Amino acid sequence: MTTLVDRKNLMTSVEMAHFVSHGSFALEAVVPAAVNERAVEVLDAGIPRHPYGTPLDTAFPPGSFVRELISLPAVAGAIQSLVGPDPAIDHHAVHVRPPRGGEAQNMHGDAILDTRTTAFDVQLMYYPRDVTLDQGGTLSVPGTHLRRINQTGIGRYQNLAGQTRLTCPAGTVVFLHHGIWHGGRRNDSDVPRYMFKIRFNPTVRQLRLWNTDDIDSPGVREELRASFGWTDANEGRLELVNRAKLWRTLTGDAEFDIDYYLTRETLSPQFIAPGATDVRLGSHAPSDGWGVA
Amino acid sequence: MTTTGTRPALGVDESFATPSATPHLRQQVLVLYLGTSALDSTVIGWTRYDGTGRSHPTTGDSDTPPYETGLAALLDGWRLLQMSQLHPHTTGEEYETSYLPYEFLFERLVDVTA
């Protein structure tokens, strides 16, 4: 992926705003049926592993199945929009849930508590077959990706208002922010469920990597303000603040704000107004002392 | 400080193997995450554990909360065991978000012979 993706295949600003608020971006049935048909055999055979941080060209050389998958125009466009050209491959894995098999995972965030504020990884999830509700598609909670938790410290949370249980047609590719809360669900169907995951690390600053032609679209703010049930009460405004911070990072616009929250906290003027009263008032007398009239 | 000098009558494992006085009762646990620290605020998250072993609540098993508010659980007979404390925000990290802050733990006892 050493060549840049055609601009028309990059994500739009509205789509990027959707990713910032939801922590996910889905391309439904984007992979052609012919590729999906080959995928299961390839995934069953296994895909060689590589050290963390392997260059994309090394991990998935031209001619390989995975390279074909991630070179599809819309997929390549999303990858470049989110993490930039020439990302590194953190790791990848094939997940197969056997029929009537497996227990639901406790809710968790992948890897470890991540302290980064100006960068993020993206996880591509590819589903070569239809995923129905009883196949136990991944449970995820939109908007949780900016909350700092450590792994399965959230394992006690079984259900959150606004959660989504993935169902999708064959050939769907979903991109997730590394911090999103999620868990694999039990497969209660009679067919195995396949999912192939790749975690990408950025190798460039994640600044205006998408097609910004629609940067002033009202849809951008609409997406950034999305609410999800669990954000309807006290946590919602804090989420807006953190989305505004991430949007500042991604656009380079240091003054972007939602509902004036970040701007208001900077309003602490030091200029003394011309009409201020006598500077001697209360400023020179020592404390009167305890019990002194 | 004084010591009695007497030895316990039973070892720990032996004492804890004493039959329960309520062998027919089991605990069901309900954890509700509310929108604010008020017990009558909206449920935004929910978790159940079933001490009867008759069901196995798990991740993502329902999209509808069992109660609309914490108070509704009380009205339905659940007993409130604990509510989370309110911690001051750390200076410089006031906008940081993490685990859900308003957790309420309920229980009820169920007769497994019924």
Number of Cβ pairs < 8 A linking chain A and chain B: 91
The reply to whether B107 falls in a domain is: yes
CA distance B17 to chain A (A): 29
pLDDT at A254: 97
Is residue B16 assigned to a domain? Answer: no
User: Which chain A residue has the Cα nearest residue B65?
Assistant: A161
Tell whether B68 is covered by a domain: yes
List CB contacts (< 8 A) between A239 and chain B.
97
Quote the ipTM score. Answer: 0.93
Which residue intervals of A99-235 are DSSP H helices? Answer: 218-224
Side-chain-side CA neighbours of A250 within 13 Å: the count stands at 26
pTM check: above 0.80: yes
Q: Which of A230, A233, A245 is opposite residue B41, by nearest beta carbon?
A: A233
Asked if the structure places residue B47 within a domain, the reply is yes
- Domains for chain A: give ranges and CATH numbers: 7-201 (2.60.120.620)
Least Cα separation, residue B29 to chain A (angstroms): 12
Q: Per the domain annotation, does B8 fall within a domain?
A: no
Q: Measured between alpha carbons, how far is A76 from A147 in angstroms, rounded to an integer? A: 28
**A-interface mutation test, from B31, B44, B82, B87, most A Cβ less than 10 A away:** B44
Looking up tokens 């992948």 gives: A110
Nearest residue on chain B to A160, alpha-carbon basis: B45
Between chains, do B99 and A154 touch, taking CB under 8 Å as contact? yes
Structure tokens at B6: 């007497």
**What residues are paired with A165 via a beta bridge?**
A139
Instruction: Count H helices and E strands in chain A, helices first.
Output: 8, 10
Asked, for residue B83, whether it belongs to a domain, the answer is yes
Q: Give me the pLDDT at residue A198, please.
A: 98
> How many separate domains does chain B show?
1
- What is the largest distance, in Å, between two alpha-carbon atoms of chain B? 58
Contact across the interface for B44 and A107, Cβ inside 8 Å: no
The secondary structure of A200-249 as a DSSP string is EE-SS--SS-SBGGGTT-HHHHHHHT---STTSSTTHHHHHHHHHHHHHH
> What is the mean pLDDT, run by run of 10 residues, along chain B of 114 residues?
75 96 97 98 98 95 96 98 96 95 98 94
Q: Residue A264: its chain B contacts at CB < 8 A?
A: none
Mean pLDDT computed over A135-164: 96
User: Which pLDDT band, with edges at 50, 70 and 90, does A286 fall under?
Assistant: low
Residues of chain B neighbouring A154 (CB-CB closer than 8 A): 99
Structure tokens at A184: 């694999």
Residue B80 lies in a domain: yes
Task: Give the sign of the dihedral formed by CA B41, CA B44, CA B45, CA B51.
Answer: positive
Give the residue numbers spanning the domain of B59: 27-87+98-111
Q: What residues contact B107, with CB distance under 8 A and at least 6 apart?
A: B27, B28, B29, B30, B78, B79, B81
Question: Residue A177: CB partners within 8 Å, gap ≥ 6?
Answer: A19, A23, A24, A120, A121, A122, A145
Is the separation of the CB atoms in A146 and A179 below 8 Å?
yes
The verdict on A241 touching B (C-beta cutoff 8 Å) is yes
Using alpha carbons, select from A139, A109, A124, A210 the residue that is nearest to residue A172: A124
- Cβ distance A158 to B47 less than 8 Å, yes or no, reads yes
The span from the CA of A115 to the CA of A113, in Å, is 6
Which comes out higher in pLDDT, residue B6 or A247? A247
